[in-house]
Amino acid sequence: MNEVGVLKQQNAVFMADFQLEREDRERTQSRLSELEEQLAASSQRIAILEDERQHLLTTVATTRHQVSSVSYLFGLYLLTLTCTFQNCMNVLPVHT
């Protein structure tokens, strides 16, 4: 094989390697694009879940406050009933 034939063979090998590297780069770029899309979708889901979490925390805090208020009012109601009952007992004549 002469020098030109060797150079053509080397050129063919380099071109094949170059083509394989190009295909690898294209596959890698495609995969990177897919991962970026997945990351964007995941980020959106995280933002939505964080909004829902904040809403739930606000709802729980409001409900706790309402329950606390109702408990306080119920306590006052029971105290009023107790005082009214005791006052009634003091006023009623005692039969012996």
> Is the pLDDT reported for residue 88 higher than 70?
no
> Is the pLDDT reported for residue 1 higher than 60?
yes
User: Distance between CA 51 and CA 62 in Å, rounded?
Assistant: 17
Rounded mean pLDDT of the chain? 87
Q: In the chain, where are the structural domains located?
A: 1-89
DSSP 96: -
Q: Which of 13-17, 56-60, 91-95 has the lowest mean pLDDT?
A: 91-95
**Residue 4: predicted pLDDT:** 85
> Is the pLDDT reported for residue 57 higher than 80?
yes
Q: pTM of the prediction?
A: 0.53
